Structure 1
Amino acid sequence: MNAVNIHKRTINQPKEQVSQLINTLATQNDLVWPYENWPAIRFKNGLHVGSKGGHGIVRYSIIEFKEGEHIKFQFSKPDGFNGIHEFKVTAINDQSTELRHEINAKLSFKATLLWVFVIRWLHDALIEDAFDKVENYFSTTKKETKYNFWVKLLREAYKRQSFQTKHV
């Protein structure tokens, strides 16, 4: 199966302002990644081409990086995920910017099952939380995307499994 997953959000700020936030990804002062509610994103050597890292069970390497413009990652885990995902920052006009996250991967049968029933749901919620975090940085009215029942169930199962693994 081919997995193509695209998220876009218009941020009513100039590209230069949004780019400054994107440049904090995976740093001590990360203003993009919703690490408050999700596994943190980390890279062994920071945001540089060739740096390896990931979040949760997902692992990847940075294969392209243009500061403030885009970051492209190549999947290495889970097994059977063969492809890329990327963040892009594009000016719509002088006062609006589009944030875009895209996955394009060929999946093995096992990876397809994992994607369809687990990862896609969690991924979609995580990316919307990240976009909320960026949008909220510039706004006094805070946006919060609500999780559907399946995401809530998966998150609870993950917390229980994580707790049991840590305390056994």
Structure 2
Amino acid sequence: MGVYNVHERLLAAKEGAVGALIDGLSGGEADRLWPHPDWPAMEFDRPLTAGATGGHGPVRYTVTSYVPGTWVRFAFSGPRGFHGFHEYAVVPVDEERTVLRHTLAMRAGGLARLTWPLAFRHLHDACLEDSLDRAELACTGTVARPARWTPYVRLLRALAR
């Protein structure tokens, strides 16, 4: 089963300000992009660089490519059946506006053919929209249309606890 999932937000911010959000990915308190503490912390075995391994919750990955201020790609190593990558990219529009894009491209095999559409997709979508809300807040001081969790996402989160 092929999966191609894109989330993006047009931000009223310069390319460098948006790129700094990617550079700060760590899941720690200073991370202004990852939506902690509402979601499992993003953790790595070393600072963000190619070869760093880590993940968030049951989702595990290795940083395969990193261009500071521009782009980072993570190759999945878990859960079993996730074969592909996810990435954040900075896409300049003009001097004052930048798109922050998150792309997930993978082939779901085995049990993941069920767990992706039934659970992971919904949680992923909610987490990414929360991440983009954090980016908008960090760059502009406000969020025009905050993301809202669906009743199904709230149910999945309750079951996971």
**TM-score, shorter chain, exceeding 0.5:** yes
1:28-55 deviations in Å (ceiling 9; x for gaps): 4101001120001011012011110000
Uncovered stretches (5+) of structure 2, i.e. residues with no partner: none
- Matched residues in 2 for 1:136 and 1:27: separation? 17
TM-score (ref. length: structure 1): 0.91
Counterpart residue number, 2:155: 153
Counterpart residue number, 1:42: 43
SS in 1 for 2:3: strand
SS in 1 for 2:46: coil
Amino acid at match of 2:2: N
Counterpart residue number, 2:86: 85
Alignment of 1:15-94 (within 5 A): 15-26=15-26, 28=28, 29-94=30-95
Q: Which one is further off, 131-140 or 92-101?
A: 131-140
Whether 1:102 aligns to 2:103 is yes
Counterpart residue number, 1:131: 132
**Maintained 8 Å contact 2:18/2:139:** no
Q: Which one is further off, 19-28 or 77-86?
A: 19-28
SS in 2 for 1:134: helix
Q: Which one is further off, 131-140 or 119-128?
A: 131-140
Q: Which one is further off, 125-134 or 25-34?
A: 25-34
Q: Which one is further off, 83-92 or 138-147?
A: 138-147
- Superposition deviation, residue 14 in structure 1: 0.7
Q: Which one is further off, 111-120 or 24-33?
A: 24-33
**Maintained 8 Å contact 1:13/1:97:** yes
Structure 1 residues 69, 13: closer, same or farther in 2, change over 3 A?
Answer: same
Aligned-pair identity in percent equals: 35
CA RMSD of aligned residues (A): 1.2
- Matched residues in 2 for 1:69 and 1:15: separation? 8
- Superposition deviation, residue 90 in structure 1: 1.2
**Maintained 8 Å contact 1:87/1:99:** yes
- Superposition deviation, residue 27 in structure 1: 5.7
- Matched residues in 2 for 1:151 and 1:90: separation? 29
- Matched residues in 1 for 2:99 and 2:12: separation? 9
Give the number of the structure whose alpha-carbon radius of gyration is greater. 1
SS in 2 for 1:124: helix
Q: Which stretches of structure 1, 4 residues or longer, exceed 6 Å deviation after superposition?
A: none
- Matched residues in 2 for 1:140 and 1:57: separation? 32
- Matched residues in 1 for 2:38 and 2:46: separation? 24
**Maintained 8 Å contact 1:22/1:68:** yes
- Superposition deviation, residue 124 in structure 1: 0.3
